Chain A
Amino acid sequence: MSAEKAAKPKVSIIAAISKAYQDIFAEDPKVITLGEDLADPEGGGIAKITKGLSTSFGDDRVRSTPISEQAIMGAAIGASLAGYKPIAEIMLMNFTTVAMDMIVNHAAKLRFMSGGQTSVPIVIRTMTGLGYGSGGQHCDYLETWFAHTAGIKVCAASTPEDAYGLLRSAVEDPDPVIFIENLPTYHAPMAFELPDSSHRVPLGKAAIQREGSDVTLIAYARMAVEARAAAVQAAEQGVSVEVIDLRTIAPWDRETVLASARKTGRVLIAHEAVKEHGVGAEIAAVINEELFGALKKPVKRLGGAFSAVPYSKPLETAYAPDAARILAAIIELAK
């Protein structure tokens, strides 16, 4: 079953995230948000996700900040230590590099280092993704850095329903969560309904977005969109692909992944981040440890090139996997 083809009203991921904000702010007075340009006098954020929020819920809870990523993260951490649930927006994922100390040394570790006396229930929302010709410092996928850090959870949605449900779960989670949003697929109308306010997607649960029996295809974020398209084309060539969207990258859903890999014996993992030392390497290693004898082929990985994201269109296109390259890898694996 292809989710895109179902005849449902079309909504975008960005609309789902905006609705999540509205619902969260209406329901939980402890939720606050801060980031550059977030409040209405500044336009409600560069993607307008928080438009209207400061007008509805007040400047105390919705705050535009100076361009000070360390101060943004620090304020979120401190407020969370005192019982608030801040959503800190770090505009683009590359800018998290400026706040790494706050995220890695503090947000992720304070619970452990305090022996559980304090906790940091924050959500870091950040946008990224290539496709706009923004070059080397504005569209990296850096999820591996955070997945490699004990104490922080990492999610990325590829459908409006999941974006809504994951963001709501992230805000309710007692631990820090980094919520990665893909800019190029933000506005694409997808055939999903805008979920109602009770909708949740549990953290740590992958979604089987398409069932199949020949190849397990694991992806997340934009690569899950590409993966779904590739799976449709593979079916036309007689290869049955099971598409798993991890949704939560850390901690990832081993159970769902291993069950599917055991069933198909052939696994392909695709992500936009650099392939070397990426999320795919970890998943491949675990599959190898758990299912060595059951595999029909070595696990295959597709990922970004080992370079900065390039500017020039042909280079940018060559940098990351897409549906065509995923399809080619599927066909190769299925042989």
Chain B
Amino acid sequence: MVATNQYVADSATLLEIYKRAALLKANDERARKVILSGQIAMVYYSYRGQEIIPSVMGQLLRDDDTICTIYRGIHDMLGKGFPLRPLWAELAGRVTGSCKGKGGPMHLTYPPKGIMVTTGIVGSSAPIANGLAWAAQLDKSDRVSVCTFGDGASNIGAVHEAMNLASIWKLPTIFVCQNNLFAEHTTFEKMTGGQNIAGRAAGYGMPGVRVNGNDPEEMYSAFAQAVARARAGEGPTLLECMTFRFFGHNFGDDDSYIPKDQKAAAMEADPVPALRARLIADRIASEHELAAIEADIEAQIDDALEFALASPWPEPDDLRFDVFEKEIAA
């Protein structure tokens, strides 16, 4: 067994985590702006507030490690290295998008970076992640398979079937529950027996750890341990990463169901500026350096958005392609 606290994020690692988090935050801010401006009409599930979790995962995962994520998953994908141009072109529904405009924001896919499945069905990332983990086992590879899902998804049967199978087959699957305390308009508290998702892992004979997903060091230590365990062939881990989403379920919804003070407190503790301040206070990076990183991110997003909006739309005839390997007859 790998000992706890063996994995410590050093200064350089924290800076790398921040770089990812800054990209994720900026991309979410831009997405909301673009929707409000009318430049792109799309369904959008803001992940603002949850950036640290995938920034840490991206830091620890390799390109050949795979991830199955969900509709609220662009942060997971950017953390894993999804390039901005095909991402934005897909959001815009253009033929230059990673999925040629056929998937959209809820089904983004990018296998070169191990981004294998994005599902709009709550909980369905988990059973498929097991198959990718099984393949790693058959390949005798030490790559790992991550699935992410929400606190609401932890009540769906598929997730439980998947955890049990991963445990008995000792699969290198890492179950990452991003507990943002809400499922649509319903609270975690009201719908979760035992008030604890990590604890459910015990029932399946695997480690389950609740961590503060907004704390880069805690998140790093826990995720690194889960990765090490999976790479060593010791089996799956369930991580319950506590976090919060700032902009409701899908962007534009009425979030009056979120108690005002709860939301205010969460936004006050925004993990991205908190990490930024920490980097400056600990002299890991200067204000000037961070500002340059952020300016570069904005420029990359500008470029990707421009590319997306200048790209052509798909042709109606494209419907005949990619249903099967061979096209459907006209």
Contact = CB atoms under 8 A, between A and B. Distances in A.
A70 interface: yes
Given A79-B132, A175-B325, A70 B161 contact: yes
Interface in A107-143: 110-119
B322 A118 contact: no
Contact of B107 (A32, A61, A66, A114): A114
A233 B128 CA distance: 50
Interface string B5-23: 0000000000000000000
Contact of A111 (B119, B168, B324): B324
Contact of A118 (B111, B145, B164): B111
A261 interface: no
Interface string B52-92: 00000000000000101000000000000000000000000
A253 to B, nearest CB: 12
B116 A118 contact: yes
A70 B138 CA distance: 21
Interface in A70-122: 70-71, 73-84, 86, 101-102, 105-106, 110-119
Contacts of A32: 134, 138
A117 B127 contact: no
A65 B130 CA distance: 13
A174 interface: yes
Given A106-B117, A151-B323, A113 B132 contact: no
Nearest to B137: A60
Nearest to B169: A63
B133 interface: yes
A65 to B, nearest CB: 7
A115 B138 contact: no
A252 to B, nearest CB: 13
B323 A71 contact: no
B94 to A, nearest CB: 11
B230 interface: no
B279 to A, nearest CB: 36
Contacts of A102: 124, 127-128, 158
B157 interface: yes
B162 interface: yes
Looking at chain B, what size class is its interface with the partner chain? 35 or more
B129 A78 contact: yes
A65 B132 CA distance: 16
A60 B129 CA distance: 17
A77 B322 contact: no
A286 interface: no
B227 interface: no
Contacts of A55: none
Nearest to A102: B127
A67 B243 CA distance: 34
B109 A113 contact: yes
A331 interface: no
A78 B128 contact: yes
B226 interface: no
Contacts of A150: 323
B164 A71 contact: yes
A90 to B, nearest CB: 13
A116 B130 CA distance: 22
A175 B324 contact: yes
Contacts of B139: 82
Interface in B300-323: 321-323
A117 B135 CA distance: 18
A122 B147 CA distance: 21
Interface in B98-114: 98-103, 107, 109-111
Given A79-B134, A80-B131, A74 B168 contact: no
Given A106-B119, A174-B325, A82 B127 contact: no
B321 A82 contact: no
Contacts of A2: none
B174 interface: no
A74 B68 CA distance: 11
B165 A65 contact: yes
Contacts of B121: 101, 105-106
B81 to A, nearest CB: 15
A79 B132 CA distance: 5
Nearest to A150: B323
A68 interface: yes
Given A70-B157, A106-B128, A113-B99, 10 more contacts: A65-B165, A81-B128, A82-B66, A111-B322, A112-B322, A114-B102, A114-B111, A115-B109, A117-B98, A117-B109
Interface of B: 66, 68, 97-103, 107, 109-111, 116-117, 119-121, 124, 126-139, 145, 157-158, 161-162, 164-165, 168-169, 321-325
29 contacts: A32-B134, A32-B138, A60-B137, A68-B161, A70-B162, A71-B127, A71-B130, A75-B127, A75-B131, A77-B127, A78-B117, A79-B132, A79-B138, A80-B131, A81-B66, A81-B131, A82-B131, A105-B119, A105-B121, A106-B128, A111-B322, A114-B322, A115-B101, A115-B102, A116-B100, A117-B98, A117-B111, A118-B111, A119-B325
